[in-house]
A = this chain, B = another copy of it.
Amino acid sequence: MEQILPHLDSVFSIDCVLFGFDGKELKILLIERNEEPFKDWWALPGNIVGPDESLDQSASRILYELTGLRGIYMEQYYAFGDPYRHPQGRVITLAYYALIRLGGDKELRPISTYAKRANWLPITDLPKLAFDHQKIYDKGLEKIKRRIKHQPIAFELLPEKFTLTQLQHVYELVLGKKLDKRNFRKKIVSFGVLKELDEKQKGVSYRAATLYRFDKRKYAKLFGKEISF
């Protein structure tokens, strides 16, 4: 974000790219600004780092204020500090991304005053963003594209129990390309970090798929070995 500029030489903020997945589309959370500069523009949610907060804490707080969610996987990925990126003065901002399963319930709390509203917008159809937020978003997407190939972050976007098709869908959306079903399943199962459940998908009007769960124990054991997609 970056609204109020107290009388300091430089201001240090955090901006977040919150990726959400609702089972269909990949979305990010944007807020519509209620203040100059860039009043009425869409922007990434953000805030100023508090004096006694660590950076990670600060990012979690921003997420919590906006969505009411805690315990979400977030990761710092780049600092943006062009001296003129903010029209009203020097603001250095640190970008975080988070991965969130949508379609829950409790998301989207009351928003702070500098925003009119907040919305999950599909990444395939984003509006123009305030400040250099397009750049921040681009780099964030690039990061998760890279990371999803090596770290088990896809599961953060899915409910605890999920089907292999849903998992593949996440990979396809993030990587931006189709994957072969048989090869995908072969590979993902071969990592040995999925636990097949005795349960089936419910409420679908066709053959129900087997549910799986990401097995953190097994993953922890494999650590050192890296997943490679």
Contact = CB atoms under 8 A, between A and B. Distances in A.
B83 A54 contact: yes
A79 B54 contact: no
A218 to B, nearest CB: 23
B81 A54 contact: yes
A92 B12 contact: yes
A8 to B, nearest CB: 6
Nearest to A6: B9
Interface stretch (A45-53, A61-69, A161-169): A45-53
B94 A82 contact: no
A83 B9 CA distance: 19
Closest 9 CB pairs of A and B: A55-B81, A52-B83, A79-B94, A54-B82, A79-B79, A10-B12, A12-B92, A9-B51, A8-B8
Given A55-B79, A76-B78, 9 more contacts: A9-B51, A10-B12, A10-B49, A49-B92, A51-B83, A52-B83, A54-B83, A55-B80, A79-B79
